[in-house]
Amino acid sequence: MRESRLWFWHILSAIVIVFLLGAHMGTMHMNTILNSLGLGSADPVDSVEVFRRSASPVFLVAYIVLLGSALFHGLYGLRSMLFELSLSKSVEKTIGGLCAFAGFALFGYGTYVAIVVYRMHGVQP
Amino acid sequence: MKNRLNNRLGLGGWLGGGRYGVDRYAYAFHRLTGLGILAYFIMHIFVTGMRVGGQEEWERTMAFFNAPVFKAGEFLVFLAFIFHAVNGIRLVIVELACGIGRPHVPAYPYTNSTMRQRPFVVAVMILAALLMITGGVDFYFMLN
For A123, name the nearest residue in chain B, comparing CA atoms only.
B55
B50-71 confidence digits (pLDDT tens):
988 888 888 898 888 888 898 8
Type of residue found at A39 = L
pLDDT higher than threshold 70 for residue A4: yes
Question: Which segments of chain B does DSSP mark as H helices, in order?
Answer: 10-15, 22-48, 55-64, 68-95, 113-140
CB contact, 8 Å: B27 with chain A?
Answer: no
Question: Quick one: average pLDDT of B133-143?
Answer: 77
A73 exposure class (CB count in 10 Å sphere: 0-12, 13-18, 19+) = buried
CB contact, 8 Å: A1 with chain B?
Answer: no
Between A23 and A27, the more confident residue is: A23
Instruction: Looking at the complex, report in whole angstroms how far the Cα of residue B108 sits from the nearest Cα belonging to chain A.
Output: 36
Asked if the Cβ–Cβ distance from A50 to B134 is below 8 Å, we say: no
Cα A76 to Cα A96: distance, rounded to the nearest angstrom:
9
* pLDDT tier at B134, thresholds 50, 70, 90: confident
In this structure, is residue A69 part of a structural domain? yes
In this structure, is residue A11 part of a structural domain? yes
Type of residue found at A35 = N
For A107, name the nearest residue in chain B, comparing CA atoms only.
B45
Whole-structure pTM value:
0.83
* pLDDT tier at B103, thresholds 50, 70, 90: confident
Between B13 and B41, the more confident residue is: B41
When divided into structural domains, chain A yields a total of 1
pLDDT at residue A123 in the model: 65
Provide the CATH number for the domain around residue A73: 1.20.1300.10
- CA distances B100 to A119, B12, B96, B129, Å, are 49, 27, 10, 23
Type of residue found at A7 = W
In this structure, is residue A123 part of a structural domain? no
CB contact, 8 Å: B95 with chain A?
Answer: yes
B20-25: long-range contacts, CB 8 A cutoff, minimum separation 24: B20/B114, B21/B114, B22/B118, B22/B121, B22/B125, B23/B114, B23/B117, B23/B118, B23/B121
Domain that holds residue A21: 2-118
Cα diameter, chain B: 70
Question: Quick one: average pLDDT of A8-17?
Answer: 93
Q: SS3 for B90?
A: helix
Asked if the Cβ–Cβ distance from A11 to B95 is below 8 Å, we say: yes
In this structure, is residue A90 part of a structural domain? yes
Question: Quick one: average pLDDT of B16-36?
Answer: 82
In this structure, is residue A124 part of a structural domain? no
Asked if the Cβ–Cβ distance from A109 to B139 is below 8 Å, we say: no
pLDDT at residue A41 in the model: 64
Domain ranges across chain B: 22-140
Q: Does domain B22-140 have CATH number 3.30.450.20?
A: no
Asked if the Cβ–Cβ distance from A86 to B51 is below 8 Å, we say: no
